[in-house]
Each structure stands twice: as structure tokens, then as C-alpha cells.
Amino acid sequence: MNETYLQQVHNFLQHECWTKKHTQTAVKQRGEVFTPPRLVSEMMDKLPPEVFTDPTKTFLDNSCGNGAFLAAVLERKMQNGIPHKDAIKTVYGVELDLNNCNLTKLRLSLKSADPEVMKIINHNVICADALDSNHPGWNTAGFYWSKDNAVNIDDLRSPA
């Protein structure tokens, strides 16, 4: 991937349009506060660099908001030579607010017109309650994509 393309990806993923002002209702009802880009980058820097070079390493943000963490993972994977379509196959997000979920999907799509890219993103980014396995948002994929991976849900829960 050439330097110009990667700079365009960076500019798109980090554009200020992704940061919205929170309504008092969103803050009060859901505790909605987006992580500032500088802090996201700082946290990504703490991960071993090889997690961004492995095309099979998956990432989950179970309260993805505007997709800041998922966008940072996508960008770093692409900077390490992993093509966009392969990189998005490894990022998963759950977001309760439909508007935020749709913004995350658009952000991760990089405005791609490829139907396969949108199919992957629509599968991997779900509008659901991350803490409620009965939430209708999980109907298609199963709670934490268990229909795809035959995950034992009990393995995902913290020990009592």
C-alpha cells in the first residue's frame, strides 16, 4: 500500500466529523462518552506491535461508540500491509445506539462501494446490548457471534 493511500485512510478515520457532541440524554441514559483520539492512540501504542501484523488476530470493542478503537486497529493493520477487506474481517463491535453503530460502520467502510466489504462490516458490527444475550440485536449472529463460532457463552462470562 502506498504512502498517499495510507495518509488518506488516516485522514478519513481520524477526521473530526466522527466526534460528536453528546446530548445530555445520551450521557445520562447510557453514560455515552467517546474516547479522545489521542488516548485511543496511546492505548494502541501499549499493545505489542505484532498484534497489528497478524492478519488473523481479532479485536472486539463491546461498547464501540463511534468506532474509535476499531478504526485505530483497522488503520494499524493496513499500515502493516494487511488489505482493507482482510483487516475488517478481524474487527468486531457492539453498540447499543443505532446512530453510533451506523457511524462506526461507515467509518470502517472507508466509503467503499464493495458489497462484500459492507457484508463483512454489517456482520461484524452489531447494534445490540453487549450485556443482554436476549437483546434482539443478537438474533442474526447469536450472542457474541456464537452461531458463527460455536462459542460457549459461559466461557465469555467472568468467574463469580
CB 60 within 8 A of CB 92: yes
- Side-chain-side CA neighbours of 17 within 13 Å: the count stands at 8
Residue corresponding to grid cell 452461531 = 147
Dump strand ranges (E) for the chain. Answer: 59-61, 91-95, 125-127
Chain centroid to CA 13: how far?
A: 12
CB 138 within 8 A of CB 148: no
CB 101 within 8 A of CB 95: yes
pTM, two decimal places: 0.79
Low-confidence ranges of the chain (pLDDT < 70): 1-2, 5-6, 9-31, 147-160
pLDDT at 152: 47
